[in-house]
Amino acid sequence: HLADPIIGPNSAPPTSPLVVEVTSTLGDSGTYQPDTTVFTGTNQNIPNAALLQLAYRSIRVAQTAGTATWNLATGRVLPNDLVVSSGTLNLNARAVGVTGNFRTEATGALQMISAADSPGVTGNVTFGGAGTSGLLTNGTITLNGSFTQSGSANSFAPSGTHRTKFRGATAQNITFANSTASFFHRMEVNAAGRAVTLQSNATVNDSLTMFGGGSQSILNGGGTTQRLRVLGGIRMTQEALSPLL
C-alpha cells in the first residue's frame, strides 16, 4: 500500500516525502528508496536485500499484532529515524545504526534479549510506548543525544545484563516521567568533555560506570532537585582526567 504515488526510476524527484506502507512481504528486486517504510502487518520480517537494493531511510514499525523481526545485516545504518508505534520490534541479535532519532510511542515496544542487540543512535532516544518489563534483558543501547522516558510508567524497564551508554559529542540530557517504574539497569557515561545532565530523578538498578579520558566526563543535575539513585556499585576510571559525578 502506498501513501503517495509510486515514483519510478526515471521519474522526477517527488515534491513531498514518499511513504510506503508494507502489510505483507517486501521483496528485494529493483531499487527501493522511499523516505519512510511503515511495516503494518503481523509478525513481519524487516528484510535485508542481498545486493542492498533496499535503501531504507526511515523505518516505522506499526504492527497490527505480534512482533516484527529486524533482519537487516549488521552494519546497515538508517540515515534518518527508527520508530516503533505499535507491536514489538525484535532486534534479532543485530547491531542497528540510526543516524537520526529512535523512539517508541503509543503501544510500541523494543525487544533486546541477545548480547548482540546493539542499537547505536546518533540523535535522541525516547521510550514513550508500552511497558518493557522482560523485553530488555541483554545488549547495549549507545546514544549520542538525549534520553527521554514517557508513555507507560514502565516504558523503559531493563534488567539482566542490559546496558545504556552515553557517548555524546555534545551535551546530553536525561528525563524520566516515572523514575520508579522506569530506570537504567547498567549505565555507562563516556562523554569525554561533555556533560550528561539529569533533568529529573533517575534510578540505576545495577551499576554506574564513568570513564575518564583526555577530556572530563561529567554527570550532574540540572538544578537542585534531581536525585540519582544507584542500587548497585559505582565505578570511576582514572585517566588523564578523571570523571566527575
Residue 51: CA count within 13 A, CB half-sphere: 7
- Give the pLDDT mean for 67-96: 93
What contacts 24+ positions apart, CB below 8 Å, involve 20-24?
none
For the question of whether the overall pTM of this predicted structure is more than 0.85, the answer is yes
Q: Is the CB of residue 136 less than 8 Å from the CB of residue 129?
A: no
pLDDT in tens, 125-183: 999 999 999 999 999 999 999 999 999 999 999 999 999 999 988 899 999 999 999 99
According to the model, what pLDDT value does residue 49 have? 57
According to the model, what pLDDT value does residue 32 have? 62
Q: Which of 70, 66, 135 is nearest to 97 (CA)?
A: 70
Q: Is the CB of residue 159 less than 8 Å from the CB of residue 185?
A: yes
- Give the pLDDT mean for 195-201: 97
According to the model, what pLDDT value does residue 43 have? 96
According to the model, what pLDDT value does residue 94 have? 94
According to the model, what pLDDT value does residue 29 have? 53
Q: How far apart are CA 124 and CA 148, in angstroms?
A: 8
According to the model, what pLDDT value does residue 151 have? 98
**Whole-number Cα distances in Å, 177 to 108, 126, 145, 149, 199:** 17, 11, 18, 6, 10
Q: Break the chain down into helix, strand, coil percent, rounded to 5.
A: 0, 45, 55
- Give the pLDDT mean for 68-86: 91
According to the model, what pLDDT value does residue 212 have? 79
- Give the pLDDT mean for 102-125: 98
Q: How far apart are CA 121 and CA 172, in angstroms?
A: 13
pLDDT in tens, 1-38: 333 333 333 444 444 578 888 887 776 555 667 889 89
**Whole-number Cα distances in Å, 241 to 75, 133, 148, 215:** 32, 37, 28, 6
Rounded percentage of the chain residues whose pLDDT exceeds 70: 88
Q: In which band, very low, low, confident or very high, does the pLDDT at 205 lie, cut at 50, 70 and 90? A: very high
Q: How far apart are CA 191 and CA 244, in angstroms?
A: 11
- Give the pLDDT mean for 216-243: 90
Q: Which of 197, 201, 117, 198 is nearest to 158 (CA)?
A: 117
Among the residue ranges 14-23, 94-103, 123-132, 206-215, the one predicted with the least confidence is 14-23
Q: Do the bridges between strand 163-166 and strand 184-189 make them parallel or antiparallel, or are there none, so unpaired? A: parallel
